[in-house]
Amino acid sequence: MNDKPLLSFLLTFLLLTSSLLHAATPVPKPPSVGAKSYLLEDFHSGQTIAEKNADQRLEPASITKLMSAYVVFNEIRNGTLSLEDKVRISKKAWRTEGSRMFVEVNTQVSVAKLIRGMIIQSGNDATVALAEQVAGTEEGFASLMNHYAQQLGMTNSHFVNSTGLPHKDHYTTARDIARLARALIREFPEYYNLYSQRSFTYNGITQYNRNKLLWRDESVDGLKTGHTDSAGYCLVTSAKRKGMRLISVVLGTKSEEARADISQALLNYGFRFFETHKLYDSGTKLTSTRVWKGAAESVDLGLAETLYVTIPRGEYKHLDASMQLQKQIIAPVTKGQTLGRVVIRLGDKLVTEKDLTALNAVPEGSFWQRIVDEALLYFE
């Protein structure tokens, strides 16, 4: 009996089975959810995984307090505000409608406690008190909010108050909020843990964080809820699993339960079907290129920021990286000068591209070097 056909069949079967077992998991469409707008993105790469009306201007309700916190944290970092500072509670702060920390008029409350009241209890009274301490008036504080929003590239946002109470000129987008959330986590890790605290007691009153996912999902560690009748129920969430951090922004749902369920569905989708990889560290030499008429003949090139990519799970081996370098680079070259691009593709799809910058400066060369290189360039 000739066993060769059988062995050939078995070998082919095993190879096909192995190929199927190691094939990338098919990526289904994102969940169909009942929200006016949403965005799901990776924290490290900043890449969008799923979105719906992410650039539509909407009322943010108490999601606004993420920007208020960003301003306050910047003031502390700049040395113009301290956690130990005592804040006198004004009548305006005390009377502010909506959710409350229950501070009392004319009492002195520390900045540290007011920050907790703003973040954990979503206290409008605490937020206005902080705004007045920072800028004198809430209107002045709103100007600071808009200033920082512009710096962060939140091009579709405008704030008129610190709390998120409804106003026709107070709006933002899911994409802008995600940008803000990334900045908060990246720039102020020492305060980020406040967003995962489940309760805060002040004046004998214990209130609980309204983010239901803090109880449901141990990977969730922030960020903020919001609700008004006109804005609906909103939730910004961040979660970390196996080193991968996702941010979801959900705006305009019908209930507390809906905003939690939708956010959970988006997070599960992202973690299940996508993965994030670090490709290159910032400041690391990736290549070098010729410099003409310089004191040195070449310059090292790298990235200003660490490069991460978020791709469908199982597709890492199919990534392709290429570099596009500027032709005929003439000295002087300054450190940080853009001299090319790194292009990352997955098949025929562009994943991302980043500037290649000079890692060192190259001043002009001597008179003789410039003359020699001028002659050589003639033949290039």
Q: Residue 237 and residue 223: Cα distance in Å, rounded?
A: 5
Give the orientation angle of helix 174-187 with respect to helix 138-152, to 10 degrees. Answer: 90
The CB-based long-range contact list for 29-32 (8 Å cut-off, 24+ gap) reads: 30/266, 30/269, 31/262, 31/265, 31/266, 31/269
Per annotation, catalytic residue among 37, 122, 157, 238: 122
Q: Which residue has the tokens 């109880």?
A: 215
162: nearest Cα among 181, 180, 137: 137
Q: Residue 297 and residue 373: Cα distance in Å, rounded?
A: 10
Per annotation, catalytic residue among 65, 113, 224, 293: 65
Helix (H) / strand (E) element for 37: namely strand 37-42
306: nearest Cα among 338, 280, 341, 276: 280
Q: Residue 92 and residue 9: Cα distance in Å, rounded?
A: 82
The sign one gets for the Cα dihedral 154, 160, 164, 168 is negative
Q: Residue 291 and residue 299: Cα distance in Å, rounded?
A: 7
Q: Residue 202 and residue 225: Cα distance in Å, rounded?
A: 20
Say whether 329 sits in a helix, a strand or coil.
strand
Q: Tell me, yes or no, if 122 is annotated catalytic.
A: yes
Q: Residue 344 and residue 352: Cα distance in Å, rounded?
A: 5
The sign one gets for the Cα dihedral 53, 55, 56, 61 is positive
Q: Residue 42 and residue 350: Cα distance in Å, rounded?
A: 17
Phi, psi of 233 (to 5 degrees): -100, 125
CA-to-CA separations, 76 to 115, 130, 172, in angstroms, rounded: 12, 12, 25
Catalytic residues: 62, 65, 122
